Every structure is written in structure tokens, then in C-alpha cells.
Amino acid sequence: MTGDAAQCRPRLGCGAVVIRTDGKLLLGKRRRAPEAGCWGWLGGKVEWMEAVQDAVAREIREEADVEIRIVRLLCVVDQFETELTPPQHWVSPVYLADHIAGDARVMEPGAIEALGWFDASSLPQPITHAVRVALPFLAGGKPADQSRSYEAHRKAAL
């Protein structure tokens, strides 16, 4: 496989909808591309030979100094980043998780601009593709259509 072909594979991400006992959801405002300036679930990359649920807990601990308990798999987000060079394709399981301990504070200021706890009915804007995909699952409604490209999702959200 050539170097270019090696870059043309999906990458594995992960994330979680972290819910506090008062029902508020934890979101972080992204500082980096893709989706810089958008509010999204915390998460990141799954490392080689790391269980996905362990990666979710590690990423949230590293980003926000928060401990979580995974409740269940909420959905899988299929995300296409065609504006990046080279383009990227991410497949990311998103879990529902309970907040166990820790005050949410920015631990990775190069990646996250701000953190906050929000009611699902009044989320800050703009939100990431992953938030748009996961919200219907959280509400028990109809899952978001992921059959269109990521660019189509972004245009529809604007």
C-alpha cells in the first residue's frame, strides 16, 4: 500500500455524552480544526490496543479532569472531513456516561477553549456534527440521517 493509500482509511475516534445528576450535559468548545469554534462532546482518538470505553474515559479525564461511568452505547458517528488536507474519515462510537467526579476544567487549552454544563434544550451554538447526530438518540427520537456526506450535514445545519 502506498503512503497516500494508507491515509485513505477511516480512523477510530470516541466520545461521550456526559450527564451530571442535575441532567446537564458536558460540552467543550473546540479550538482546533475540524469544527473549531463549535461546541461538542468530549472524546478523541482510540489508541492501538486500547478498549474504546477505556479511551473515552481517558480522553475525558485528560481533557476535563472528570471521571465518568459508561452507561451504554448511544450511537456511532460517521464523519467526513473533506476540507482537511489530506481528507479524513472518522468513525466514532458515542457513549452515554454518568458524571462521577471532578469539576470540569480545561486541561488541554490547545484543543479546548471552554467547557460548560448545559440543558439539552438550550445548547450553545454552533454545535458539532457529532452533537447533531447524537441528540435524537439521547431524546429517544428518530436517529439522524447519516447517509449524506458530512458537508451536506454542515450545510443543512447552517
**pLDDT tens figures, 49-102:** 999 999 999 999 999 999 999 999 999 999 998 888 888 999 999 999 999 999
Amino acid code (one letter) for 107: M
The pTM score is 0.85
Name the active-site residue from 35, 83, 113, 151. 113
Work out the average pLDDT over 27-39.
Answer: 96
> Out of 3.30.70.20, 3.50.50.60, 3.40.710.10, 3.90.79.10, which CATH number does the structure's domain 11-157 have?
3.90.79.10
Could you state, in order of their start, the residue ranges of all structural domains in the chain?
Answer: 11-157
Provide the pLDDT confidence category of residue 113 given band limits of 50, 70 and 90. very high
**Res 157: pLDDT:** 44
Alpha carbon distance, N-terminus to C-terminus of the chain? 38
C-alpha cell at position 119: 440543558
Q: What gap in Å lies between CA 41 and CA 131, rounded to an integer?
A: 7
Whether 113 sits among the annotated catalytic residues: the reply is yes
